[in-house]
Amino acid sequence: MPPAFSFPQIPASSVSVNIGDPVDPQALEQAKAIVSSIKDADDKSKALLEKAKAFGDMQKEEESYVVPNKELKEAYENLPQTEREALDRIHARVLAFATAQRNSITDITIPIPGGSAGHRVTACTTAGCYAPGGRYPLPSSVIMTCVTARAAGCTFVVCSSPRPAPITLAAAYVSGCDTFVKVGGAQAIAAMAYGIPAAGSIPEIPRADVIVGPGNKWVTAAKSIVNGFCGIDMLAGPSEVLVICDKTANADVVAADLIAQAEHDVVARPLLVSDDQEMIDKVTEASKKRLETMPEPNRTTALTAFSTGFSVLCSDVPECVKVSDEIAPEHLEIQTEDAMNVGMSCKSYGGLFIGEDAAEVMGDYGAGPNHTLPTGGTGRYTGGLSVFNFLGIRTWMRIDDKKESQQMVNDTSVMARLEGLEGHARAADCRKIEK
């Protein structure tokens, strides 16, 4: 029997930021063993193959964990026309947004005393992109990660996902993936972080400079282990949606959006914040009614998630915004009067969806902005996946006129001696012009 419907209401005064450790301690210990078994193996390819089979990422009889590119193309070409065209359109919208992001930051040069300084914007060479492959295939995550890496300018893109469905392989083809690895979990993160040499007919998996993408607790734990050896996007926890609504909202639409997020996982968090008790009651009733017609296992999953979510009654919309900023939700929907201004007054969130028709699920499936977003309150200080995760801002300076640089040389000598770094001071002194 599924659990009874429950959607607690809590006072605004009891809401506090909830930045917990996204890394499960037990998963971390297990991930350490898996990562080490691949990183330290004499034959990394064999070790990866064994782990992939042991964890059910691929069939026992299969001998290669890399899907040939021709199979990616075949998967795309064999899709029904409606699915193929949907992939193409989603790809185009995500690419357009990511390209606009890339074009928003450029190289700069400014004058300094006696010369010039500036920065260059350059992409990392190899991107590792992870897409979950659990109960549901997530081709959207393939597009969100691989397309963004390509738009940033990465020259090589590796995508990894266990038990890939044809739609997942097709998404990798559309996204321009160079190598597709049908491996998941901590073993996939280890393979992309440390690289796997070519072995017989199995091509090399090059070491990734940055690894991105959502995953289960073992993926998150493994990303925390390799972070520093390579870059990562974020350590994401359970998914969240927070809807700010007032009396003008459509309660049934709000309920539908809460359920859409709740069906992700039993620990997902549907959150409702309103200045109108009648609206909270209507949304609660509409959610209960909608869940009665949901198929299994989605229904039971969502019912459990609702019991860990909550609603909050505020005195007015500005207080709703304050509560939302305290929570810093992954997804934030605004369904109020003057929704644009309300949305622009919010400071802490992963992705923002303004107005009744800007459904969060459309953000999930390729409106343009990325759906890989910060969770667990980390939206207070970071945003979602973007081309910037793959870019380095590298500064430079040069001196063309030694005479014009002398004041800067003198300032350097003074500051170095104030810090007790005589070697620094003397390195500056040898640039002085002798009088």
Residues 94 and 190 occupy one common structural domain? yes
Q: Is 85 part of the annotated catalytic residue set?
A: no
**Domain end call among 232, 256, 279:** 232
Q: Locate 101 and state its tokens.
A: 């992001």
Contacts 24+ apart (CB under 8 A), 282-289: 282/251, 283/245, 283/249, 283/251, 283/254, 283/255, 283/258, 283/311, 284/7, 284/311, 285/251, 286/251, 286/252, 286/254, 286/255, 287/5, 287/7, 287/255, 287/258, 287/259, 288/5, 288/7, 289/255
Q: What local confidence, expressed as pLDDT, does residue 20 receive?
A: 67
Query: Can you tell me the distance from the alpha carbon of 194 to that of 211, in angstroms, rounded to the nearest whole number?
Result: 11
| 7: in domain | no
Q: What parts of the chain have a pLDDT lower than 50?
A: none
Q: What local confidence, expressed as pLDDT, does residue 15 receive?
A: 85
Of 68, 231, 75, the residue nearest 154 (C-alpha): 231
For residue 186, give the CATH number of its domain: 3.40.50.1980
Q: Is 330 part of the annotated catalytic residue set?
A: yes
Residues 197 and 299 occupy one common structural domain? no
Domain count, the chain: 3
Which strands sit side by side in the sheet containing 240-245, from one edge to the other?
Answer: 9-11, 310-313, 269-274, 240-245, 331-335, 351-354
| 109: in domain | no
Residues 50 and 145 occupy one common structural domain? yes
Entry pTM: 0.92
Q: What local confidence, expressed as pLDDT, does residue 19 receive?
A: 61
The range of the structural domain enclosing residue 257 comes to: 237-384
**Domain end call among 174, 208, 232:** 232
Residues 295 and 318 occupy one common structural domain? yes
Q: What local confidence, expressed as pLDDT, does residue 283 receive?
A: 98
Residues 206 and 243 occupy one common structural domain? no
**Domain end call among 232, 251, 282:** 232
Residues 347 and 407 occupy one common structural domain? no
| 390: in domain | no
* DSSP designation for 134: S
Helices (H), 78-136: 81-103
Residues 375 and 411 occupy one common structural domain? no
Q: What local confidence, expressed as pLDDT, does residue 237 receive?
A: 84
| 248: in domain | yes
Count Cβ atoms within 10 A of the Cβ of residue 239 and give its class: 0-12 exposed, 13-18 middle, 19 or more buried. Answer: buried
| 11: in domain | no
Catalytic one among 263, 330, 333, 360?
A: 330
Residues 179 and 317 occupy one common structural domain? no
Residues 77-126 have pLDDT tens digits of 999 999 999 999 999 999 999 999 999 999 999 999 999 999 999 999 99
Give the three-state DSSP class for 325.
helix
Q: What local confidence, expressed as pLDDT, does residue 18 receive?
A: 62
| 397: in domain | no
Peptide bond into 297 cis (omega under 30): yes
Catalytic one among 331, 333, 360, 371?
A: 331
| 379: in domain | yes
Residues 294 and 313 occupy one common structural domain? yes
Residues 360-406 have pLDDT tens digits of 999 988 799 999 999 988 888 899 999 999 999 999 999 999 999 99
Q: How many CB atoms lie within 10 A of CB 347?
A: 12
Residues 180 and 38 occupy one common structural domain? yes
Length of the chain: 435
Residues 243 and 347 occupy one common structural domain? yes
Q: What local confidence, expressed as pLDDT, does residue 435 receive?
A: 73
Residues 258 and 313 occupy one common structural domain? yes
Q: In 301-348, at which residue ranges do the beta strands (DSSP E only) sit?
A: 310-313, 331-335
| 12: in domain | no
